Amino acid sequence: MTPDYAFDPAAIIGSRTMQSSTGKDVIVELCSPARMPDPPFDWFCAYRITGLDDDAIDGRALGIDAIQALTLALVHVGDRLRTATTGLTFLGRNDLFLPTTPVPDPWAAR
């Protein structure tokens, strides 16, 4: 049997609505971190992005504890939205105020 890490609308703890360049709403919803249903019983945090593609994008991040799972879920969402080609804005700004994975500068001094 496959463990259930599915997005659960009853567990939503926060959401954010952004706008695409076409005026369409893009909504991010985060679920409360929960224990993994199988060993090693760490934590996961499910999320859903709607409005970016035709179908909802469901994902999850795993962490050693609830804080890490939640933080990594925010980074997963930030990374996914950073690559979106729809020109997203939040509160009229290009900065979505979500963490992302740093992209190394190949020309930076070493």
Q: Which residue segment(s) compose the domain that 70 sits in?
A: 9-82
Q: What is the pTM of this model?
A: 0.87
CB atoms within 10 A of CB 106: 5
Preceding amide of 39 cis, omega within 30? no
Which residues have C-beta within 8 Å of that of residue 31, sequence separation ≥ 6? 7, 8, 11, 12, 13, 45, 46, 47
Tens digit of each residue's pLDDT (9 = 90 or more) over 33-48:
999 988 889 999 999 9
Total count of domains within the chain: 1
Q: What is the pLDDT of residue 1?
A: 34
Whether 94 is covered by a domain: the verdict is no
Segment 101-105 shows an average pLDDT of 81
pLDDT averaged over the chain?
A: 91
Tens digit of each residue's pLDDT (9 = 90 or more) over 50-81:
999 889 999 999 999 999 999 999 999 999 99
Whether 52 is covered by a domain: the verdict is yes
